[in-house]
Amino acid sequence: MRRVVLDVLKERKAKILSAVIHHYIKTGKPVGSDVLIGQYNISLSAATVRNLMADLEREGYLTHPHTSAGRVPTDKGYRSYVDKLVKLQNFAVEEENRIRKEYEQKHSEIETLLSETSRILSGLSQYMGFVMAPKPQCDEIKNIELVQITREELLVILLTQSGMIKHKKIEAFVRQEQINRLRSFLNEKLRGTSVAQANKIIVSEIKDFKQNEMEIFKVAEKIGDVFYNIQDDIYIDGASNVNMISIPDFNDFEPVKSMIKFNEDKKRFMDIINRDFNHRGINVKIGSENALEKLKHLSIVTTVYKNGERAVGILGIIGPKRMEYQKMMSLVSYVSKVLNEFFKANGYRGRCLGK
């Protein structure tokens, strides 16, 4: 009998917690017992509801701001809510078609596609969308171009098999015929190898230049450093999304300021997001679950996108803790699925991904 009573109590608490979070996500206002009884079909007395809400507060799932009688969810409350989303909400057919149509209209260049993906995530979520590009060190080299842009500057342009383009200016005072020789040498030695291997191959293969043409040797060394120092890229859209600020009663500007700061400091942002590279499925970090203090106001919903079974990169959205988690998780999941299809269709050949 006691077991039955405990099960009923647990079920009532779960229903009340879910209703509080649902109402708070919609309105941004503390939730009282009268709202729960009047709008959420909770057939209990006001006193019983207040007692259950007090229990949930003692257990760390709810809190109340200042002297308000209403409650708001804590990070622990949100976590319990998200963990119960066993099945992702299916996106409406028209939204799925909208996403797919956006992709079908784009060219096959991966940089264009990833930039559009962050825009799509931002546009449909009304928060901040981001996509981390495939790790360049794992991509294969398709072509290298060298362009003399001034008398003492050379532009190194790298095209990878995935369609990524990287370019870097270096100091170089060489003749056009030397540039032609160096271009031919680089493409012959590096085409089809991974970016991660490029610097090592250059170092081992330029010895003849050192003996015969010191100018080319020095330029080749600098080009090797370019490959060694290539960094990950991230595409971010919606950091100052006005719709974020216009959400009812979303008057705390801290989350928006945090997003803008992270948009300005992409390196730190990428370091944080990269920690989820080996995570499979949808990953949700809520407020204080995030590693950095500046993210305590925000929730991050991420997933990896793949080439076959290999993880290629990460995409997701960042928004306030009172977001519609089911919708955001479904959006991230579906966009990842479409991106997976693109990489499969375009034969991306990353060598060291998903390990």
Q: Model confidence at 52, in pLDDT bands (50, 70, 90)?
A: very high
The percent of residues above 70 in pLDDT, for the chain, comes to: 78
Whole-number pLDDT of residue 158: 86
Whole-number pLDDT of residue 260: 52
Q: Model confidence at 195, in pLDDT bands (50, 70, 90)?
A: confident
Whole-number pLDDT of residue 3: 59
Whole-number pLDDT of residue 75: 93
- Of these ranges, 58-62, 115-119, 273-277, the one predicted with the greatest mean pLDDT is 58-62
- Region 16-35: mean pLDDT is 89
**Euclidean distance between CA atoms 339 and 334, whole angstroms:** 9
CB 235 within 8 A of CB 126: no
**Euclidean distance between CA atoms 126 and 165, whole angstroms:** 29
Whole-number pLDDT of residue 82: 83
Query: Domains plus CATH for the chain?
Result: 2-83 (1.10.10.10), 93-134+232-345 (3.30.450.40), 137-228 (3.30.390.60)
Which residue has better confidence, 291 or 96? 291
Whole-number pLDDT of residue 103: 64
CB 256 within 8 A of CB 244: yes
**Residue 102 reports pLDDT greater than 80:** no
Whole-number pLDDT of residue 314: 92
Q: What is the pLDDT of residues 204-222, one digit of tens each?
A: 888 777 666 777 788 888 8
CB 19 within 8 A of CB 36: yes
> String of b and e for 34-50 (b: at least 16 CB within 10 Å)?
ebbbeebebebeeeebb
**Residue 308 reports pLDDT greater than 90:** no
- Region 24-53: mean pLDDT is 88
Q: What is the pLDDT of residues 247-298, one digit of tens each?
A: 443 444 455 555 555 555 677 778 778 877 777 789 999 988 887 777 788 8
Q: Is 104 exposed, middle or buried (0-12, 13-18, 19+ CB in 10 A)?
A: exposed
